[in-house]
Amino acid sequence: MKRSTVGAADKPTRRPSPRAARPRELKQERAVRTRQQVLDAAAAAFAERGFPAVTMLDIAEIAGMTKGAVYFHYANKEALATAVSEEFYRRLPLIAEEVGKAGLPPLQAVAELLNRTALAFRDDTMIQAGARLQIESASINASLPEPFVGYTESVTQLLDRARSAGDLPSHSAPDALGRVLVAAFFGAQHISWRLDQRADLVTRVREIIDAVLPMATSAAGKV
């Protein structure tokens, strides 16, 4: 009787069964949820107390887990500050994208962008934390994303379109006007935070729109 000449390389490869793969997927999903839980806890701590006053233990207690679990996902407080800042700068462009989907005329879109950003600063803890870390960056031994630039570009692009559409005087300078609006917005949100925990921020932003872009007042919307 002849022996089989089939070698090991010719043997069919066993694929993991669906039952074996599912536990790994569940483990990965849990890890993603836990990492987000830690990030949300860090944002809450940074927004309320500021980077210098927060410890990894504080973040662990807010997250409802051990300090070791926090360190498993983030090496130190600086890594968490970087992650929160990156999430802050990820969310700001999303606001501009949502405004873009609304199909508003350019000046109305500027007003809507500023209003929606004001709401985010008022209501979103991650945004509040990112703004505070931006102010405290000198105390953070990490390279944080460059502030203001992307948001200014979003506003300036809309203003440039408004000028092309004849909604702004032909001699107007979208770059300068964009810088003025962004400086006014971030100044207003800081003052509103210090004086009123941002409760009056939407009102302050409407005042900016009325003063700087009176022709877009009708687009500011009622929140």
User: Coil, helix or strand for 206?
Assistant: helix
Q: pTM (2 decimals)?
A: 0.83
Structure tokens at 145: 């994303």
Task: Please give the pLDDT value at position 29.
Answer: 81
Between 20 and 204, the higher pLDDT residue: 204
Q: Are 94 and 117 in contact (CB under 8 A)?
A: no
Structurally, the chain folds into a number of domains equal to: 1
Q: Are 79 and 56 in contact (CB under 8 A)?
A: no
Assess if residue 10 is contained within a domain.
Answer: no
Assess if residue 7 is contained within a domain.
Answer: no
Mean pLDDT of all residues in 158-169: 94
Least confident piece of the model among 13-17, 28-32, 145-149, 154-158: 13-17
Q: What is the DSSP code (8-state) at residue 197?
A: T
Q: How confident is the model at residue 19 (pLDDT cuts 50, 70, 90)?
A: low
Structure tokens at 189: 């949100």
Burial call 132-146: b when 16+ CB within 10 Å, e when fewer = bbbeebeebeeebee
Other C-beta atoms within 10 Å of 222: how many?
6
Closest listed residue to residue 142, CA positions, set 218, 207, 85, 199: 85
Assess if residue 2 is contained within a domain.
Answer: no
Q: What is the DSSP code (8-state) at residue 198?
A: T
Assess if residue 3 is contained within a domain.
Answer: no
Assess if residue 14 is contained within a domain.
Answer: no
Assess if residue 139 is contained within a domain.
Answer: yes
Reply yes or no on whether the pLDDT at 107 is more than 60: yes
Closest listed residue to residue 59, CA positions, set 87, 34, 32, 28: 34
Assess if residue 148 is contained within a domain.
Answer: yes
Task: Please give the pLDDT value at position 222.
Answer: 41
Q: What is the CATH number of the domain that holds 139?
A: 1.10.357.10
Residues spanned by the domain of 146: 19-217
Report d(CA 114, CA 120) in Å as an integer. 10
Residue type at position 21: A
Assess if residue 185 is contained within a domain.
Answer: yes
Reply yes or no on whether the pLDDT at 79 is more than 50: yes
**Helix, strand, coil fractions of the chain, as percent rounded to 5:** 75, 0, 25
